[in-house]
Structure 1
Amino acid sequence: MTDTALAPLAAPTDDDWWTSAVVYQVYPRSFADSDGDGVGDIRGIIGKVDHLQRLGVDVVWLSPVYTSPQADAGYDISDYQDVDPVFGTLADIDELIAELHSRGMRLVMDLVVNHTSDEHPWFRESRSSIDNPKRDWYWWRDARPGSTPGEPGAEPTNWESFFSGPTWTLDEETGQYYLHLFDPKQPDLNWENPEVRRAVYSMMRWWLDRGVDGFRMDVINLISKDTALPDAEPDPRTGRGDGFPHYAHGPRLHEYLQEMRREVFDGRRPLITVGEMPGVDVDEALLTTDPARRELNMVFQFEHVGLDHDGNKFQPVPLEPGALADSLSGWQEALGETGWNSLYLSNHDQPRAVSRFGDDGEFWRESATALATMLHLQRGTPYIYQGEEIGMTNGSFDDLDAIRDVESLNFRARSAELGLTAEQTLERIRRGGRDNARTPVQWDAGEQAGFSTGAPWIGVNPNHSWLNAAAQYDDEGSVFNHYRRLVALRHENPVVARGDFTRVDAGDPAVFAFERRLGDERLLVVANLSGAGVDAELPADWAGASQVLANYPDDGAARLRPWEARVLAV
């Protein structure tokens, strides 16, 4: 823990408007269904813009709606410049952009360019023959020397896929393997080829010309790979190894990002660029977000969402008291003066925050609002994942047949070789699986939670009977209205967006306390991240400070109640 203060920033400009913005992520498949087919769609989003405006967010980040076979829920794209019919049409996107812009909000699209679908025309050409002009648009390699193509261990490297199994699949027609760090239906693009980069940049410009306001870039730190493709240290159980050091943060990553900035973003209206970077460390994040280097505005780092497992989300470990606060404040201190933080606890790939880091039982409301308070009042751009603003919890999955996500299904297929029973497998998926974030948004207490008039593609959480948006709108003490106040505080108080950050030692690891300062304006945030009462030791100069926000009624006591959060001002 440190008490080193970070320097405050200058007043925001048009170019860095995102420093005082709040982003809301929409996972379209589960947000709102307008036509009763059980799958959320763009017109469903349009129908809920009032909710977003009521919440007060500035940006909507839209997870992929491009044409896709849906092997990985749309992150396997077969046409970057069209909308999958399950979600709607390009005209629907245009209407959504216009509707958001008319209300002062902006739209960010998910950019998935580390890989495409194997059904993309580029890949179909690439695999058609060894001498096709697009062959080098992807990573093709012969079988390991001395082996027979197709036999176990013949893959060009021993790397383990993010979705389990080898990262190479044999193409029977041409006799070579292609690289896919994720699903076999997601072949990796070869960014070493300048034609690939030109095609990607052209597509990005096309979307910006259409009115999109920026991109969230999926696994963007994987686009530059060690071209030698060396083996990794093998796991004795599977023979496969972690190739991450050889394909992440590769030697040309920053060159590509700077080229992208020049070719796509320079000379345009103020936009927002966000890079998802699994495994990123502080040094790489600083390089990427330093404005002087002209790469990205901010990155998603993963340290804090790795604290409760051993590197595999299906291998849980206990979350140590104070570990979350230590991790988040460490990134505040590391990036605050030069780079910029993306502040998040939830997204489409993570379990629900209140179930994971809070208490979704006795202290559901208190822990949901305490977690929100400590996150949104740090320095950085906060992200709200759909349903987080009403405190949605992990899903309710009665058996393995209720699971839909490819990552969890692949884990299920491997569970026997890991020595797990069906019940143990289900329990680990219930805890760490991505389906937790993908159950339908709970709009009301009606059938299917107001998400659809049909049968949803994945089961609705039964707790929607009491946990839903409609029940919270007029309740001043609700999770939703606490989020509204947090968003408003960021908009109205420059110290929240622009002030420095100083960690405060409150005398107990359960308490995350920090001060924000901008000129003469000061805020103190104190959050008890535990289910027990705590006596917090606060700085003497905060005695008599006024309370500007809290998740409990003010009782005048110094002792913090379970999951109590207070925001004080002097």
Structure 2
Amino acid sequence: MDPSEEPWWKEATFYQIYPASFKDSNNDGWGDIPGITSKISYLSSLGIDAIWLSPIYDSPQNDMGYDISNYQSLYPPYGTLSDLDTLIKTCHSHNLKIIMDLVINHTSSLHPWFIESSSSKTNPKRDYYIWKPPRYSPSGDILPPTNWRSYFSSSTWTFSPQTQEYYLHLYHSSQPDLNWENPSLRKAIYEEAITFWLERGIDGFRIDTVNKYSKVQSFEDAPVTIPDSKHQPAPEYWCNGPRIHEFLHEMHTQVLDPYNAVSIGELSNTPFPEQVLPYVSAAKKELDMAHEFSIIRLGTGKNIFESKYDYTPFTLPTVKQLVEKWQVFTEGTDGWNTVFIENHDNGRCVSRFGDGSPQSAKCIGLWQATLSGTLFIYQGQEIGMGNIPGDWEWKEYKDVESKEALQEAGGNGDKEKVKRVEEGLRILARDHARVPMRWNEEENGGFTGVEANPWMRAFEKGVSVESQMGDENSVLEFYRRVLKMRREYKDLFVYGRFKLLFGEDEKLFVYIQEGEHRKGLVVMNFTGEEQILPDTEEILEGKGRLLIGTFGEDVISEYLKPWEGRVYVNF
């Protein structure tokens, strides 16, 4: 297809906003929608094309809004529906699209649907959720229906005394899973959680936990893979299930297509291209694209259900192998790819893939902006925000997953395990991405008033939008340049064919992006030491022009400085 005929989202750069931590307009310490609206001009000037809002729905906030109690109203500290209408109009007036997070694998236990469902076995909404009778031990003790382990270390089942049955929850017990086998439930989701927002002008959705709606209906025990635990990982029973493609095709064709709404799915536990392709095939009409997590999860423990925070160091060749795998997996198909290195559920990229320095932040930015597919960046990434300082006390960590990981490790009395979990959280915790955005050098970083008490502590003076604005050597100004380059050379850096070079080199990251009529060469030094520049003329089969560099566009040195990256193009 001619690039001019491609859908808008292929060439777009999306900017993810974590609303609680982006900008507080009324000094109550919690980010809000008017605060986001006040920064749309800034985002537009950055060179993005769309914003993605993490959940703003009404919620008890047990899991930062991923536990929704009402799909059609907002959590009051964020503002009103009128505020959101203003944000939508402001985005569109700046030629920006706006998408919302769609959380439809589960609701809050305070959602009216669940309150009705749990009230009696004969309630019309009983089958909106997944209920099963208990099992009993030989001595008569009550047991869950299966031995499945949730993401938060406990059982996936919670007993409800009111009806003497268990309900399923893959996440926290306050997040009961919806029963997608029920067509009435699916219809209610489509009407209340999707169409309602599309009618208000939303341009699409990032769809949370998109491959977990279909569960294997036998509800049998999972094999024992953690011998000392009564709860066992069981993704084979609830991820990529038997009807998942049917469900997503129905949602796409019946609800999303009529509004030309973009859909980006969160695909976990799906590490093979042959698994991902059916989800993102244009012909199958399920998802437009998906977030696959092999790269962003580097460093986590081997078993995400047991040892997620048992940090495992990785090498640059491992990074390169995964980049190559997910850059080429759609070649020759009608699928599409996404590019991202940060989101709300992971540590900051400059602290995980770089050395924490502004120079490594720019190098990572160049890496991301020169990969094929749709680019996503996360708030603060464009100024090089890093992880929480190592001297913060654990009480400063707010995330339910961090708290439960620490609690589980401590409960076993294994001091070595506690130490490993603490070390892992210092690198990988979801809290790192949720620290308030720094807009200036004032107390609280301009996120909220200097006298206000932010919901989460701000930090990192010296890393802010204001301090970097107009400084050509800053991370912020480099992001502006590299996003502009990506747009101007979209044939290479959106649609290009990726070819990895020097795959086993532990210091240099080098690849070609090939278009129909030219090639781009990306060369990056992923170390803190000077490295020799490869022979660019030999690689490009002729002279190439330096298009952009993290140390400027007039560099002629045959050596790469620490964390230096350059892009050459032949003509």
Shorter-chain TM-score category? over 0.9
When residues 209 and 44 of structure 1 are mapped into structure 2, their CA distance, relative to the original with a 3 A threshold, is same
| SS at 1:306 equivalent | coil
| SS at 1:549 equivalent | strand
Amino acid in structure 2 at the alignment position of 1:408:
S
Amino acid in structure 1 at the alignment position of 2:3:
A
5 Å-filtered alignment, 1:468-479, equals 468-479=464-475
Structure 2 counterpart of 1:392, from 385, 391, 395: 385
Structure 2 counterpart of 1:134, from 114, 125, 129: 125
Task: Please say if residues 506 and 538 of structure 1, whose CA atoms lie closer than 8 Å, have aligned partners that are also in contact.
Answer: no
Q: Which residue of structure 2 aligns with residue 435 of structure 1?
A: 431
Q: Return the offset for 1:73.
A: 0.2
Counting matched residue pairs gives: 553
Alpha-carbon distance between aligned partners in 2 of 1:196 and 1:184, rounded to the nearest angstrom = 20
Task: Please say if residues 336 and 379 of structure 1, whose CA atoms lie closer than 8 Å, have aligned partners that are also in contact.
Answer: no
When residues 474 and 149 of structure 1 are mapped into structure 2, their CA distance, relative to the original with a 3 A threshold, is farther
Q: Which residue of structure 2 aligns with residue 324 of structure 1?
A: 319
Q: Does 1:551 align with 2:550?
A: yes
Alpha-carbon distance between aligned partners in 2 of 1:520 and 1:348, rounded to the nearest angstrom = 38
Q: Return the offset for 1:522.
A: 2.0
Q: Does 1:11 align with 2:25?
A: no
When residues 294 and 538 of structure 1 are mapped into structure 2, their CA distance, relative to the original with a 3 A threshold, is farther
Task: Please say if residues 321 and 503 of structure 2, whose CA atoms lie closer than 8 Å, have aligned partners that are also in contact.
Answer: no
Q: Does 1:404 align with 2:384?
A: no
When residues 303 and 506 of structure 1 are mapped into structure 2, their CA distance, relative to the original with a 3 A threshold, is closer
Alpha-carbon distance between aligned partners in 2 of 1:52 and 1:558, rounded to the nearest angstrom = 36
Task: Please say if residues 149 and 175 of structure 1, whose CA atoms lie closer than 8 Å, have aligned partners that are also in contact.
Answer: no
Q: Return the offset for 1:133.
A: 1.2
Q: Which residue of structure 1 aligns with residue 116 of structure 2?
A: 125
When residues 569 and 418 of structure 1 are mapped into structure 2, their CA distance, relative to the original with a 3 A threshold, is farther
Structure 1 unaligned regions, length at least 5:
1-8
Task: Please say if residues 352 and 437 of structure 1, whose CA atoms lie closer than 8 Å, have aligned partners that are also in contact.
Answer: yes
Alpha-carbon distance between aligned partners in 2 of 1:459 and 1:126, rounded to the nearest angstrom = 39
Alpha-carbon distance between aligned partners in 2 of 1:150 and 1:489, rounded to the nearest angstrom = 65
Q: Return the offset for 1:385.
A: 0.3
Q: Does 1:253 align with 2:253?
A: no
Task: Please say if residues 328 and 497 of structure 2, whose CA atoms lie closer than 8 Å, have aligned partners that are also in contact.
Answer: no
When residues 212 and 427 of structure 1 are mapped into structure 2, their CA distance, relative to the original with a 3 A threshold, is same
Q: Does 1:336 align with 2:312?
A: no
Q: Return the offset for 1:560.
A: 2.1
TM-score relative to the length of structure 1 = 0.94
Amino acid in structure 2 at the alignment position of 1:117:
S
Could you give the per-residue CA deviations for residues 87-129 of structure 1, whole angstroms, max 9, x where no partner exists? 1111111000000000000110000000000000000000000
Could you give the per-residue CA deviations for residues 264-283 of structure 1, whole angstroms, max 9, x where no partner exists? 12233x43110001111311
Amino acid in structure 2 at the alignment position of 1:563:
W
Q: Which residue of structure 2 aligns with residue 532 of structure 1?
A: 529
Could you give the per-residue CA deviations for residues 60-98 of structure 1, whole angstroms, max 9, x where no partner exists? 000000000001000000100111101111111100000
Could you give the per-residue CA deviations for residues 336-370 of structure 1, whole angstroms, max 9, x where no partner exists? 3322111111000000000011111xxx1111111
Alpha-carbon distance between aligned partners in 1 of 2:555 and 2:191, rounded to the nearest angstrom = 59
Task: Please say if residues 508 and 536 of structure 1, whose CA atoms lie closer than 8 Å, have aligned partners that are also in contact.
Answer: no
Alpha-carbon distance between aligned partners in 1 of 2:438 and 2:138, rounded to the nearest angstrom = 53
Structure 2 counterpart of 1:455, from 453, 456, 460: 453
Amino acid in structure 1 at the alignment position of 2:347:
P
| SS at 2:466 equivalent | coil
Alpha-carbon distance between aligned partners in 1 of 2:190 and 2:53, rounded to the nearest angstrom = 19
Alpha-carbon distance between aligned partners in 1 of 2:321 and 2:246, rounded to the nearest angstrom = 32
Q: Which residue of structure 2 aligns with residue 279 of structure 1?
A: 269
| SS at 1:304 equivalent | coil
Alpha-carbon distance between aligned partners in 2 of 1:321 and 1:53, rounded to the nearest angstrom = 33
| SS at 2:422 equivalent | helix
Q: Return the offset for 1:424.
A: 5.2
When residues 52 and 355 of structure 1 are mapped into structure 2, their CA distance, relative to the original with a 3 A threshold, is same
Alpha-carbon distance between aligned partners in 2 of 1:58 and 1:22, rounded to the nearest angstrom = 5
Task: Please say if residues 317 and 504 of structure 2, whose CA atoms lie closer than 8 Å, have aligned partners that are also in contact.
Answer: no
Structure 1 counterpart of 2:11, from 16, 20, 45: 20
When residues 558 and 508 of structure 1 are mapped into structure 2, their CA distance, relative to the original with a 3 A threshold, is farther
Q: Which residue of structure 2 aligns with residue 467 of structure 1?
A: 463
Could you give the per-residue CA deviations for residues 289-324 of structure 1, whole angstroms, max 9, x where no partner exists? 111111111111011123212233311111123211
Alpha-carbon distance between aligned partners in 2 of 1:248 and 1:34, rounded to the nearest angstrom = 40
Q: Which residue of structure 2 aligns with residue 207 of structure 1?
A: 197
Task: Please say if residues 507 and 536 of structure 1, whose CA atoms lie closer than 8 Å, have aligned partners that are also in contact.
Answer: no
| SS at 1:256 equivalent | helix
Alpha-carbon distance between aligned partners in 2 of 1:150 and 1:563, rounded to the nearest angstrom = 60
Q: Which residue of structure 1 aligns with residue 361 of structure 2?
A: 368
When residues 150 and 447 of structure 1 are mapped into structure 2, their CA distance, relative to the original with a 3 A threshold, is farther
More displaced stretch, 296-305 vs 67-76: 296-305
More displaced stretch, 409-418 vs 58-67: 409-418
Q: Which residue of structure 2 aligns with residue 379 of structure 1?
A: 372
Alpha-carbon distance between aligned partners in 1 of 2:502 and 2:206, rounded to the nearest angstrom = 35
Task: Please say if residues 404 and 435 of structure 1, whose CA atoms lie closer than 8 Å, have aligned partners that are also in contact.
Answer: yes
Amino acid in structure 2 at the alignment position of 1:46:
T
Q: Return the offset for 1:409.
A: 0.6
Amino acid in structure 1 at the alignment position of 2:475:
V
Alpha-carbon distance between aligned partners in 2 of 1:424 and 1:497, rounded to the nearest angstrom = 40
More displaced stretch, 501-510 vs 89-98: 501-510
5 Å-filtered alignment, 1:210-289, equals 210-234=200-224, 235-268=226-259, 270-280=260-270, 281-289=272-280
Q: Which residue of structure 2 aligns with residue 508 of structure 1?
A: 505
Task: Please say if residues 143 and 149 of structure 1, whose CA atoms lie closer than 8 Å, have aligned partners that are also in contact.
Answer: no
| SS at 2:514 equivalent | strand
| SS at 1:437 equivalent | helix
When residues 147 and 37 of structure 1 are mapped into structure 2, their CA distance, relative to the original with a 3 A threshold, is farther
Identity of counterpart residues, as a percentage? 38
Alpha-carbon distance between aligned partners in 1 of 2:125 and 2:170, rounded to the nearest angstrom = 20
Tell which has more relative contact order, 1 or 2 (C-alpha 8 A, sep 6+): 1
Q: Which residue of structure 2 aligns with residue 420 of structure 1?
A: 415
Alpha-carbon distance between aligned partners in 1 of 2:84 and 2:158, rounded to the nearest angstrom = 35
Alpha-carbon distance between aligned partners in 1 of 2:253 and 2:158, rounded to the nearest angstrom = 35
Q: What's the RMSD between the two structures over aligned residues?
A: 1.7
Alpha-carbon distance between aligned partners in 2 of 1:492 and 1:536, rounded to the nearest angstrom = 25
When residues 531 and 294 of structure 1 are mapped into structure 2, their CA distance, relative to the original with a 3 A threshold, is same
Q: Return the offset for 1:561.
A: 2.1
| SS at 2:145 equivalent | coil
Task: Please say if residues 148 and 232 of structure 2, whose CA atoms lie closer than 8 Å, have aligned partners that are also in contact.
Answer: yes
When residues 166 and 52 of structure 1 are mapped into structure 2, their CA distance, relative to the original with a 3 A threshold, is same
Task: Please say if residues 494 and 518 of structure 1, whose CA atoms lie closer than 8 Å, have aligned partners that are also in contact.
Answer: no
Task: Please say if residues 335 and 341 of structure 1, whose CA atoms lie closer than 8 Å, have aligned partners that are also in contact.
Answer: yes
Alpha-carbon distance between aligned partners in 1 of 2:524 and 2:141, rounded to the nearest angstrom = 55
TM-score relative to the length of structure 2 = 0.94
Q: Return the offset for 1:425.
A: 4.4
Structure 1 counterpart of 2:69, from 78, 81, 87: 78
Q: Return the offset for 1:447.
A: 0.9
Task: Please say if residues 180 and 187 of structure 1, whose CA atoms lie closer than 8 Å, have aligned partners that are also in contact.
Answer: yes
Alpha-carbon distance between aligned partners in 2 of 1:440 and 1:11, rounded to the nearest angstrom = 38
More displaced stretch, 423-432 vs 76-85: 423-432
When residues 508 and 122 of structure 1 are mapped into structure 2, their CA distance, relative to the original with a 3 A threshold, is same
Could you give the per-residue CA deviations for residues 419-470 of structure 1, whole angstroms, max 9, x where no partner exists? 1366654333222111100000011100100001111111112x2x211110
Amino acid in structure 2 at the alignment position of 1:403:
Y
Q: Does 1:180 align with 2:164?
A: no
Alpha-carbon distance between aligned partners in 1 of 2:235 and 2:51, rounded to the nearest angstrom = 31
Alpha-carbon distance between aligned partners in 2 of 1:398 and 1:149, rounded to the nearest angstrom = 47
Amino acid in structure 2 at the alignment position of 1:367:
S
Q: Return the offset for 1:148.
A: 7.9
